[in-house]
């Protein structure tokens, strides 16, 4: 039987930490940054963490259990 492949889109957007958390980049940090406050841009610079059904779905796409 063939090996299961990792979902290419999920591979680029998410990563799994050593403790098993699924983290992602926050949206609204790509363009039109002049109009956003420094405080908002700093907050958006940190990674977000997935939980619940989203986390379960992403781990399935990444073939991690």
Q: List pLDDT tens digits, range 16-26.
A: 999 999 999 99
For residue 20, how many C-alpha atoms fall within 13 Å in the half-sphere facing its CB?
5
Q: Which pLDDT does position 49 carry in this prediction?
A: 97
Reported residue count of the chain is: 65
Measuring CA to CA, which residue among 51, 52, 61 is closest to residue 13? Answer: 61
The pair of three-digit structure tokens given for residue 24, joined into one six-digit string: 């992602």
Predicted TM-score (pTM) above 0.75: yes
- Whether the Cβ atoms of residue 13 and residue 26 lie closer than 8 Å to each other: no
Domains parsed from the chain with CATH numbers: 8-61 (4.10.410.60)
Q: Which pLDDT does position 65 carry in this prediction?
A: 58
């Amino acid at each position: 039987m063939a090996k299961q492949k990792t979902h290419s889109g999920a591979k680029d957007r998410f990563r799994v930490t050593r403790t098993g958390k699924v983290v992602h980049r926050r949206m609204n940090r790509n363009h039109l940054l002049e109009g956003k406050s420094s405080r908002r841009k700093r907050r958006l610079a940190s990674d977000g963490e997935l939980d619940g059904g989203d986390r379960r779905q992403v781990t399935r796409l990444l073939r991690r259990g």
